[in-house]
Homo-oligomer: A and B are copies of this chain.
């Protein structure tokens, strides 16, 4: 790692390096020094191209969305809206800690704007009010971000060592089943439903409800 001349480093160069560090070490392990080392430079050198670590996170947010592809323009607006949601979730699941990076960050990178533009175009074409189209778009991204964040959140402090997806769900199931049934009858009864590790259908459920609710606006 770290080629000696290293080529003059740019913001894009820093962004892709940060992306590699993020993939390797996770968001908590992402430091200025490590990003700098990844491009063969010193930490302080980054500050010539970037104001903050925060600005690097902004670049990361853009880079994560960068390889988004808009769904095909076939079928009705509903199928396209659903597909937007699915692809957004897939994007957040593809890169490590992507949801946490993107969560508290309103990106205005060109790639993000292009997707948003396209999405709004289809919603208006489908017959939604301007205000409704804007809110429908906002609703979708809020749901997807919130879902993936919950989906990836470990159970309390039982975290790090846990194996992949669904591990937390199974442990949560144990917690629910162990509860006193007279105090929490519903939690005990629904323990299996609440902790079903099939996140895909759980996500799809919410997505379909939202689409249904939006469809009711068009009648």
Contacts and interface: CB of A to CB of B under 8 A. Distances in A.
A120 B190 contact: yes
Contacts of A187: 113, 116-117, 120
A192 to B, nearest CB: 8
Contact of A202 (B135, B168, B183, B184): B135
A179 B107 CA distance: 15
Interface stretch (A8-16, A17-25, A30-38, A210-218): A210-218
Contact of A106 (B116, B168, B211): B168
A77 interface: no
Contact of A100 (B104, B135, B153, B185): B104
A133 B124 CA distance: 33
Number of copies: 2
A74 interface: no
Q: How large is the interface on A (under 10, 10 to 19, 20 to 34, 35 or more residues)?
A: 35 or more
A149 interface: yes
Contacts of A211: 213
Contacts of A135: 193, 202, 205-206
Which 9 residue pairs spanning A and B have beta carbons closest together? A146-B146, A209-B213, A212-B213, A134-B193, A142-B146, A213-B213, A139-B206, A120-B186, A142-B147
25 contacts: A51-B157, A54-B157, A55-B157, A103-B153, A104-B149, A105-B156, A106-B155, A106-B156, A108-B172, A114-B184, A130-B190, A133-B193, A135-B206, A138-B202, A138-B206, A139-B143, A142-B146, A143-B206, A145-B150, A146-B146, A209-B213, A209-B214, A210-B210, A211-B213, A212-B213
Interface of A: 51-52, 54-55, 58, 100, 103-108, 113-114, 116-117, 120-121, 124, 130-139, 141-147, 149-150, 152-157, 159, 168, 172, 175, 179, 183-187, 189-190, 193-194, 196, 202, 205-206, 208-214, 216-217
